[in-house]
Structure 1
Amino acid sequence: MEPTTTATALAAAIRRSEVSPVEVAEYYLDRVDRLDGPVNSIVWRDDERLMADARAAEKQVAEGGDLPPFLGVPIPVKELTTAAGQPNTRGSLGFSDQVQTEDDLCIGLLRRAGALFMGRSNSPELGPMSVSDNRRYGRTANPWDLSRTAGGSSGGAAAAVVAGLAPAAQASDGGGSIRMPSSCCGTVGLKPSRGRVPQLVGAWDHGVTDGMITRSVLDAAAFLDVLSPFDPLAWYSAPQPERPFAEEVGRDQAPLRIGLLTEAPTGLPVDPECVLAAQRLAAELERLGHVVVPATLHGYSEPAVRGYLDVIVNASLLVLPYEDASLAEPYIQHRMARGRERHAGEYAAVDALLQIETRAVNAQWGRDWDVLLTPTMATVAPPIGTVLEEANADPEGPRVAENQMISFTSFVNIAGLPAISLPVHRTPEGIPVGAQLVGGPFDEATLVRLAASVEPAFGWTTSLPPAFA
C-alpha cells in the first residue's frame, strides 16, 4: 500500500489476498493518528467497530466466492450523512450526538458494496457553506497549505483523500460541495445527475446529490456504479446507462464540441489561475481531437437564483431536527429567520420558475456544445477561516470569496446536470486548481470517457502533499 493507492486498486489487492482488510484498516488509522491533527479532516472515529468489520471482511475473503466490489476498503462518511452506528450532528452544536440506527440510502449501498466506515469527515453546519468550518469541530485545512481552506461542504472528505488518510470518501453536492473541495485539494470530484443516486429525500428541491470524492476517474466511475441502481420507489430515477460507468474508462470517444466558458455566470471576477486551469484542460482536449469553441452560458434569471437561495434552501434548514437552534452559527440563524418570512405560495412560484428555466438552460447541451468546460471555481482556495467568519459577521452582505467559489458550480445543481472537477493545474505556490466539465442531462458516461482520457497527461493520481508522503 501507498498513500496514493486508489480504491479500486486496493479492492483488487484485497480480493487477491495480497493485503488483508485488517492491514488496510490499521494502515489508514495510523496515518490519521500521525498526520490528521493540523488538517482536521476526520472529526469522529470508532476504531473498534472498524477493526471488527475489517476482521469480518478478512474472513469473507478467506471463504472466497463472489465478493462485493469494494470489500475491505475503508472510507469516511460525511458529517451530513446518516450511517447506522454513528452520530450525525450535521456539524452543529445544536444537534444531538445520539448514535443513529438507520442508513441513508447511499450508505446502505456502500455497505453492501463491502466498504468499511472509518469515521466521519468534517463539513460546515447543515451544508450551505463553501468551506468545512464549524463551531463544533473546528476548521478543516488544505493539506497542500494549512493556511488555506480545504473547501466545502465535503472539505473533510477531499482533504482526507488527497492526504492519503483514506483511499476515497463519501460526499454530497448541493451547490458545488463535491467539486469545490476537489478543486481546492486536488482530487477528482464527480457530481452525479439529478435522480442518479437514490435518496430518501431530494433536499434543496432535488438539487442535492450524494456521491464520492476519489483519487482517480476509475474510482469515481466504479463508485457511481455502486451508488446508482434503479430505484423503483423513488419519485423519479435517471435513465439507466448503456453499460457500467467503469467500462467507459478507456473507451474511445468521438470528437466533441467543447464549449469553453471562463466568465463567471455570477459576474464576479475570475482569478487568472482558475482561467489557466480551464485553458490547460481545453488544450489537452484539443490535442485529443476535440473542438473547443467559446461559450456564452444563458443561465438562470436573477429572480430564479435568488429564489433558490432565499426560499428553497432557507426553507430546507427549517425542517432539520435541532435540539437547540440557538446554538446554530449566526449565518444559519439568519437563513432560518429569512425562511420563516416566506410563505408556501412563494416556494411554489420559485419551484415552477426553476423548472421552466431549466428547460432552456439544459437545451444548450447538444445544441451549442456537447460538453461545457469551465474553471471549477472563480478563486483559488481562500485563506482558512475567512469565509465562515465573513458569513457570520455579515450574513446579509455580499460575500465575494464565497460567491466566487460557487460561481461555476451552483447552476449545475439547479439544472440537475452531471459535472466533474479535475485537478489539472497548480499555482506557482503549489495550490491545486480544478477545471470542471459539465455534461448534458444524464450523460455521466461522456464525462467519464473525457476525464479518463486526460488523466494520464496530468498525473494527478500519484499527487501527494509533501508533508503527507
Structure 2
Amino acid sequence: MRPTTTATELASEIRARRTSPVEAAQYYLDRIDRLDGPVNAIVWRDDERTLQEARAAERLLMTGGDLPPFLGVPIPVKELTNAAGQPNTLGSLGTSTEPRTHDDLVIAALRRAGGVLMGRSNTPEMGPMSVSDNRRFGRTANPWHLGRTAGGSSGGAAAAVAAGLAPAAQASDGGGSIRMPSSCCGTVGLKPSRGRVPAFVAAWDHGVVDGMITRSVLDAAALLDVISTPDPLSWYNAPALQRPLAEEVGRDPGRLRVGLLLEAPNGVPVDAESIAAAQRLAEELEHLGHHVFPAKLDGYSPVALREYLDVIVNAWVLATPYVDETLAEPYLQYRRDRGRQRSAGDYAVADARLQYETRAVNAQWGRDWDVLLTPTMATVAPPIGTVLEEANATPDGPRVTENQMIAFTAFANIAGLPAISLPVHRTGDGVPVGAQLIGGPFDEATLVRLASQVEPAFAWTEALPPGFD
C-alpha cells in the first residue's frame, strides 16, 4: 500500500486478496497516529470498532460471491453526519456527545458498499463556515502548508485525503464545502446535483448535498454511484443517469463549449493565483479540442443572494440543536439572533424568489455554454485562523476573506448544479489552487468525462505533501 493509493485501487487489491481489510485499516490508523498531529484532520476515533468492521469485511471476503464494490475501504465520517454508534457534536461545545442511534442515508449507503468507517473528520461548528476551525476540536491545517487553512466545511475530510490518512472521505457541500477544501488541499471535489444523493432532510432550502472527497476522478464517480441510489421515500430524486458515472470515466466528451468566467459573481477581487488555475485548465481544454471563450454569468440578483444568507441560512442555523447555546461561536449566536428576527413570510418570499430566479440562471447551460469554467475560489488558502477570527470579530460585517472563498461556489448550491474542483495549479510555495467546472442541471456525466480527460495532464493522483510519505 502507498499513501497515494486511491479508493478504487484499494478496493481492487482487497477483492484480489493482495491486501486484507484489516491491513488496510491498520495502515491508515498508523498513519493518523504518526502524521495527523499538526494537521488535526481526524478529531474522533474508535479504532477497535474500525478494526471490528475490517475483520467483518475480511470474513465476507473469504466467503467469495458477489462482494460490495468498496469492501474493506476505510472512510472517515464528517463531523456533521450521523453514524450509528458515533457521537456527532456538529463541531460544537454546546451539543450532546452521546452516540447517535442511526445512520444518515449517505452513511447507510457507504456501509452497503462495504466501506469501513474510520473516525470523524473536522468541520466548523454547525457547518456555515469556509474553514474547519472550532473551539471543541481546534483548527485543521493544510497538509501542504501548515500555516494555511485546509478550508471548509469538509476541511478535515480534504486534509485527510491529501495527506494520505484515508483513501477517500465522506463530505457535504452547502456553499462550496466539498470544493473549497479540495482547492485548498489539492484533492478532487465533486458536488452532486440537487436530489442526486438521498438525505433525510434537504437543508438550506435544498442547497446542501452529501458527497465525497477523493484523490481521483474515478473515485469521485464510483463513490457517487454507490451513494446516489434513488430513494422512493424522498420528496424527489434527481433524474436517472444514462449509465453509472464510473463508466463515464475515459468516455469521449465530444467537443464542448466551455465558458471561462474569471470575474467573481459576488464582485469580490480575484487573486492572480486563482485566475492562473482557471487559465491552466482552460489551456488544457483548448489543447484537447474544446472551444473555450470568455463568459459572463447572469447570476442571482443581489437581493436574492442577501435573502439566501440572511433569511434561509440563518433560519437553518437557528434550527440546529444546542444543549447550551451560550457555548456557540459568537458569529453563530449572531446568526441565530438574525434568524429570530425574520418571519415565516420572509422565508417564503426568499424561497420563492430563489426558485424563480434559478430558472434563468440554469437556462444558460446548453444555451450559452455546455460547461462553465471558473476558479474554485477567488483566493488561495488563507492563513489558518483568520477566517473564523474575522467572522467572530465582525459577524455583521462584509467578511471579505470568506466571501472570496465562496465567490464561485455558492451559486451552484442555490441553483442545484453539479460542480467539480480539480487541483490544477500550485503557488510558488507549493499550496494547491483548484479550478472548477460547473455542469448543466443534473449533468454530472459531462463533468466526469471532462475531468477524467484532463486528469493525466496534471498527475494530481500521485501528489503528496512533503513529509507525508
Q: TM-score, normalised by structure 2?
A: 1.00
Within 5 Å, give how 1:183-202 maps onto structure 2. Answer: 183-202=183-202
Task: Give the corresponding residue for 1:177.
Answer: 177
Per the TM alignment, residue 399 of structure 1 is displaced from its structure 2 partner at its CA by 1.0
Within 5 Å, give how 1:125-274 maps onto structure 2. Answer: 125-274=125-274
SS in 1 for 2:101: coil
Per the TM alignment, residue 253 of structure 1 is displaced from its structure 2 partner at its CA by 1.3
Whether 2:466 is the aligned partner of 1:466: answer: yes
SS in 2 for 1:318: helix
Query: Whole-Å Cα distance in 1 between the matches of residues 116 and 319 of structure 2?
Result: 30
Query: Whole-Å Cα distance in 2 between the matches of residues 230 and 393 of structure 1?
Result: 43
Task: Give the corresponding residue for 1:392.
Answer: 392
SS in 2 for 1:417: coil
Within 5 Å, give how 1:378-457 maps onto structure 2. Answer: 378-457=378-457
What are structure 2's unaligned runs of at least 5 residues? none
Paired amino acid for 2:464: L
Task: Give the corresponding residue for 1:61.
Answer: 61
What does the per-residue CA deviation read over 1:97-143, in whole Å, with 9 as the maximum and x for residues that have no partner? 10011000000000100001110000000100000000000000000
SS in 2 for 1:374: strand
Query: Whole-Å Cα distance in 2 between the matches of residues 216 and 356 of structure 1?
Result: 36
What does the per-residue CA deviation read over 1:64-111, in whole Å, with 9 as the maximum and x for residues that have no partner? 110000000001000000000100000000001100110000000001
Task: Give the corresponding residue for 2:356.
Answer: 356
Paired amino acid for 1:27: Y
Task: Give the corresponding residue for 1:292.
Answer: 292
Per the TM alignment, residue 16 of structure 1 is displaced from its structure 2 partner at its CA by 0.4
Task: Give the corresponding residue for 1:101.
Answer: 101
Query: Whole-Å Cα distance in 2 between the matches of residues 317 and 148 of structure 1?
Result: 27
What does the per-residue CA deviation read over 1:275-314, in whole Å, with 9 as the maximum and x for residues that have no partner? 0100000010111110001100000001100100011000
Whether 2:328 is the aligned partner of 1:328: answer: yes
What does the per-residue CA deviation read over 1:197-248, in whole Å, with 9 as the maximum and x for residues that have no partner? 0010000000000000000000000001001111111111100000000000
SS in 1 for 2:229: coil
Query: Whole-Å Cα distance in 1 between the matches of residues 253 and 109 of structure 2?
Result: 30
Query: Whole-Å Cα distance in 1 between the matches of residues 289 and 97 of structure 2?
Result: 53
Paired amino acid for 2:217: V
Task: Give the corresponding residue for 1:110.
Answer: 110
Superposition RMSD in Å: 0.5
Query: Whole-Å Cα distance in 1 between the matches of residues 442 and 243 of structure 2?
Result: 13
Whether 2:275 is the aligned partner of 1:275: answer: yes
Query: Whole-Å Cα distance in 2 between the matches of residues 241 and 49 of structure 1?
Result: 36
Whether 2:80 is the aligned partner of 1:80: answer: yes
Query: Whole-Å Cα distance in 2 between the matches of residues 117 and 252 of structure 1?
Result: 35
What does the per-residue CA deviation read over 1:170-204, in whole Å, with 9 as the maximum and x for residues that have no partner? 00000000000000000000000000000100000
Query: Whole-Å Cα distance in 1 between the matches of residues 187 and 311 of structure 2?
Result: 32
SS in 1 for 2:258: strand
SS in 2 for 1:177: coil
SS in 1 for 2:319: coil
Query: Whole-Å Cα distance in 1 between the matches of residues 402 and 320 of structure 2?
Result: 24
Per the TM alignment, residue 317 of structure 1 is displaced from its structure 2 partner at its CA by 1.3
Query: Whole-Å Cα distance in 2 between the matches of residues 80 and 231 of structure 1?
Result: 21
Task: Give the corresponding residue for 1:22.
Answer: 22
Identity %: 76
Does structure 1 conserve the Cα–Cα contact (< 8 Å) formed by 2:426 and 2:432? Answer: yes
Does structure 1 conserve the Cα–Cα contact (< 8 Å) formed by 2:318 and 2:335? Answer: no
Per the TM alignment, residue 398 of structure 1 is displaced from its structure 2 partner at its CA by 1.1
Query: Whole-Å Cα distance in 2 between the matches of residues 241 and 416 of structure 1?
Result: 16
Per the TM alignment, residue 320 of structure 1 is displaced from its structure 2 partner at its CA by 1.8
Whether 2:307 is the aligned partner of 1:342: answer: no
More deviation, 182-191/313-322: 313-322
Query: Whole-Å Cα distance in 2 between the matches of residues 28 and 176 of structure 1?
Result: 27
Task: Give the corresponding residue for 2:377.
Answer: 377
Task: Give the corresponding residue for 1:13.
Answer: 13
SS in 2 for 1:314: helix
SS in 2 for 1:364: coil
Paired amino acid for 1:446: T
More deviation, 169-178/52-61: 52-61
Paired amino acid for 1:405: M
Paired amino acid for 1:371: V
Query: Whole-Å Cα distance in 2 between the matches of residues 237 and 59 of structure 1?
Result: 35
What does the per-residue CA deviation read over 1:361-388, in whole Å, with 9 as the maximum and x for residues that have no partner? 0000001100000000000000000000
Query: Whole-Å Cα distance in 2 between the matches of residues 319 and 427 of structure 1?
Result: 40
Query: Whole-Å Cα distance in 2 between the matches of residues 334 and 291 of structure 1?
Result: 46
Query: Whole-Å Cα distance in 2 between the matches of residues 351 and 261 of structure 1?
Result: 27
Per the TM alignment, residue 467 of structure 1 is displaced from its structure 2 partner at its CA by 1.2
What does the per-residue CA deviation read over 1:440-465, in whole Å, with 9 as the maximum and x for residues that have no partner? 00000000000000000000000000
Query: Whole-Å Cα distance in 2 between the matches of residues 408 and 276 of structure 1?
Result: 15
Does structure 1 conserve the Cα–Cα contact (< 8 Å) formed by 2:169 and 2:212? Answer: yes
What are structure 1's unaligned runs of at least 5 residues? none
SS in 2 for 1:468: coil
Query: Whole-Å Cα distance in 2 between the matches of residues 207 and 320 of structure 1?
Result: 16
Does structure 1 conserve the Cα–Cα contact (< 8 Å) formed by 2:127 and 2:153? Answer: yes
Paired amino acid for 2:253: Q
Query: Whole-Å Cα distance in 2 between the matches of residues 113 and 320 of structure 1?
Result: 30
Paired amino acid for 1:230: P
Paired amino acid for 1:9: E
